[in-house]
Amino acid sequence: MSDLVIIRQQVQRAFAIARKDVRIYYAKGPIIIYGVLMPVFLFLAFTIGRSLPADLMIPGLVGMILFFTATSVSPIVLPWEAQARTLERLMACPVRLETIILGDVLASFIFGVGISVVPIVIGLNLGVTIVSPAIFVLAVVLAAFCFATLGNVFSIPPTNLPATVNMIAAAVRLPVVFISGVFIPLDELPVWGQKIAYVSPLTYFTDIARSLMQGQGHLPLVVDFLALIGFTIVFLIVAMKLHRRTMPRRI
Amino acid sequence: MSVNDTAIEVRNLTKRYDGLLAVDDICFAVRKGELFGFLGPNGAGKTTTVRILTGVITADNGTALVMGSRAGSLKAKQVAGVVPEMANAYNDLSGWNNVMLMAELYSIASGEAKERSEALLKALGLLERKDSLVKTYSKGMKQRLILGMALISDPQVLFLDEPTSGLDVQSARLIKSLIQGLNDRGKTVFLTTHDMDEANQLCDRVAIINKGRIVAIDAPERLRIATSGRHSVEVSFTDSVSTDNLARLPSVKEVQKIGDKYRLYTDVPGDLAVTLVNYSASAGLKIVSLNILAPSLEDAFITLTTKESGDV
């Protein structure tokens, strides 16, 4: 069988795994709580009672919701499956480890893109204009994939307790939101704050959103996109390499 | 055994966990169409061996081939169906969706997958409940579904790790008859079990594994005949009897009380049967049943594993 046929088969099987994840995990409590409710209430906590213009709030809101939702599914799938004793059966199927990871990432990606439509629509209804919708859609897609791969990195420790993984994810997500220009635009951060912001992938999406919605980006769009691509590649490599070591310890 | 006849070939397979040898330099081969049993107590290395053959874990040393391909490769996994020991179906999906998911993961065309799923679920007695969530299934139904998930790809080799463990008699019987049917249709079956009766009933050949090492490989009957000193006479009386008294009878090597019966091990079962009749008459006892038993597979297992560990 040629390599191309094998790759096509594995991609199809990744989509099958993603569909399985969508059916099983989207309605799970941790996903709704950590993926949807937490960012909404966090956002409300920072904006209620403060008369902030919509084009200042909405880029941060979109970024935060996209980040939380796209990192909410991929971390918990493997621990949940190990706990439910469905993982060994999946590992015995003719799917590579990369296929399983890609399937879980796709499920998280779809969730992130789908839910982030809501704050975008809210923003449009509040009068926010997006300068270049095509570039914005590309940014959402790329950022969702990047965040979904980050979510998969959270699940590397071979614990079979979804709660433990959620703890690790929360310990990363909350600080990232605060350093990424979500609540305070990068231009208004001190220099040391900007330097810290550069290590977060969310910084670059939020910068793109501010650039296209507020007309005020901190970095050139090309730099933002390249950074997101770079983070995605790094997260994918880390996930593949380290899951290979920890997967056998889950069963 | 020629390469073309071989479904599974294992050479010098070794696996360690934290310094503990779970599988210790084992070698065996399984012919195509054979129903091969891996018999051993808990912790013997059966599941570790199956996991290496199904590609879930990798061995530290040695080689394992499934239908000529390296165990764990995509080619090997594509021709194999697996029922792991501690496996569940997806509780939040229906029985139908579980089977169809497996069909997708083996790239079975959609139309064919639907036909096969329907036929399989019907044969497994699950068709009426195919759209119910698996969390509503009984344990026996779940195990049958997992077997169906393993069969949807029409595998050439089936790996079954303790497939009847924990099941009620009816479900276990159904699973065993399904396994026998599959083997009758030419499928190679690799079965692990700690149930001697199951190995005896189903398997063409049995490998006895203990503490990670293979102790013997042969047909169940030949394993039984090859063991000596494990002939026995099984007797039950109307009243209970002291096992010490029975142990003092001539040519009795060992006495076991099994429920309401006594099993007396001896080299001369015929003579012992006569002795027991005379003893019961002299002791004022009535015999309810008296049977001379050939060595069971359990006896063979005990003899062989005792010899292996040197506790003769």
Per-residue model confidence (pLDDT) at position B311: 45
Instruction: Return the H-helix or E-strand segment holding A7.
Output: helix A3-25
Per-residue model confidence (pLDDT) at position B61: 95
Query: Which percentage of chain A shows pLDDT scores above 90?
Result: 59
Residues B5-14: tens digit of each pLDDT:
999 999 999 9
- What is the torsion angle, in degrees rounded to the nearest 10, for the CA atoms of residue A200, residue A206, residue A208 and residue A214? -150
Q: Which of A77, A94, A229 is nearest to A153 (CA)?
A: A77
Q: Higher-confidence residue: A65 or B168?
A: A65
In this model, does residue A73 exceed pLDDT 70?
Answer: yes
Amino acid at B185: R
Residues contacting A126, CB < 8 A, separation 6+? A54, A58
State whether residue B54 sits within 8 Å of chain A by CB: yes
Average pLDDT, chain B: 90
Q: Could you tell me if B7 and B66 are in contact, meaning their C-beta atoms sit under 8 angstroms apart?
A: yes
Residues A107-147: tens digit of each pLDDT:
999 999 999 999 899 889 888 899 999 999 999 999 999 99
Q: Which of A151, A152, A210, A202 is nearest to A175 (CA)?
A: A202
State the pairing for strand pair B69-70/B80-83: unpaired
Per-residue model confidence (pLDDT) at position B274: 94
DSSP structural state of residue B158: E
Q: Is the dihedral of CA A189, A193, A194, A200 positive or negative?
A: negative
Q: Higher-confidence residue: B310 or B58?
A: B58
What is the distance between the alpha carbons of residues B146 and B191, in angstroms, rounded to a whole number?
15
In this model, does residue B99 exceed pLDDT 80?
Answer: yes
What is the distance between the alpha carbons of residues B26 and B40, in angstroms, rounded to a whole number?
14
Nearest to B101 among A20, A85, A91 (CB): A20
What is the distance between the alpha carbons of residues B305 and B221, in angstroms, rounded to a whole number?
17
Which residues, in sequence order, are bridge partners of residue B133? B94
In this model, does residue B147 exceed pLDDT 70?
Answer: yes
What is the distance between the alpha carbons of residues B100 and B97, in angstroms, rounded to a whole number?
5
Residues B104-116: tens digit of each pLDDT:
999 999 999 999 9
State whether residue A9 sits within 8 Å of chain B by CB: yes
Structure-token pair, residue A119: 């704050």
What is the distance between the alpha carbons of residues A174 and A194, in angstroms, rounded to a whole number?
17
What is the distance between the alpha carbons of residues B75 and A96, in angstroms, rounded to a whole number?
11
Per-residue model confidence (pLDDT) at position B312: 39
* Closest CA–CA distance from residue A18 to any residue of chain B (Å): 11
Q: Which of B2, B52, B11, B53 is nearest to B31 (CA)?
A: B2
DSSP structural state of residue A31: I
Judge if pTM exceeds 0.80.
Answer: yes
Q: Could you tell me if A59 and A27 are in contact, meaning their C-beta atoms sit under 8 angstroms apart?
A: no
Q: Could you tell me if B215 and B208 are in contact, meaning their C-beta atoms sit under 8 angstroms apart?
A: yes
In this model, does residue A250 exceed pLDDT 90?
Answer: no
Strand order in the sheet with B261-266: B254-258, B261-266, B231-237, B287-293
When pLDDT is averaged across residues B194-222 and rounded to a whole number, the result is 89
Residues A43-53: tens digit of each pLDDT:
888 777 777 77
* Residue contact B77–A248, C-beta within 8 A: no
Nearest to B55 among A17, A23, A92 (CB): A92
Q: Which of B176, B171, B98, B94 is nearest to B140 (CA)?
A: B171
Number of Cβ within a 10 Å radius of residue B213: 18
* Residue contact A94–B74, C-beta within 8 A: yes
* Closest CA–CA distance from residue B49 to any residue of chain A (Å): 13
What is the distance between the alpha carbons of residues A194 and A185, in angstroms, rounded to a whole number?
10
Per-residue model confidence (pLDDT) at position A147: 96
What is the distance between the alpha carbons of residues A118 and A124, in angstroms, rounded to a whole number?
10
Which of B107-116, B122-131, B229-238 is predicted with the least confidence, judged by mean pLDDT?
B229-238
What is the distance between the alpha carbons of residues A107 and B17, in angstroms, rounded to a whole number?
34
Nearest CA in chain B to A244: B57
In this model, does residue B127 exceed pLDDT 90?
Answer: yes
**DSSP-derived 3-state class of residue B143:** helix
Q: Could you tell me if B222 and B297 are in contact, meaning their C-beta atoms sit under 8 angstroms apart?
A: no
Q: Could you tell me if A185 and A218 are in contact, meaning their C-beta atoms sit under 8 angstroms apart?
A: yes
Residues B254-298: tens digit of each pLDDT:
999 999 999 999 888 899 999 999 999 999 999 999 999 877 777
Per-residue model confidence (pLDDT) at position A88: 94
Residues B6-49: tens digit of each pLDDT:
999 999 999 998 888 999 999 999 999 999 999 888 888 999 99
Residues B60-82: tens digit of each pLDDT:
999 999 999 999 999 999 999 99
Per-residue model confidence (pLDDT) at position A103: 96
* Closest CA–CA distance from residue A240 to any residue of chain B (Å): 16
* Chain A residues lying within 8 Å of B51, measured CB to CB: 88, 251
Nearest to A89 among B87, B92, B104 (CB): B87
Per-residue model confidence (pLDDT) at position B3: 61
State the helix-helix crossing angle for A97-125 and A133-154, rounded to 10 degrees.
140
Max CA separation in chain B (angstroms): 75
Which residues, in sequence order, are bridge partners of residue B82? B159
What is the distance between the alpha carbons of residues B237 and B112, in angstroms, rounded to a whole number?
60
Q: Is the dihedral of CA B69, B72, B75, B77 positive or negative?
A: positive
The residue to which tokens 């008699």 are assigned: B169
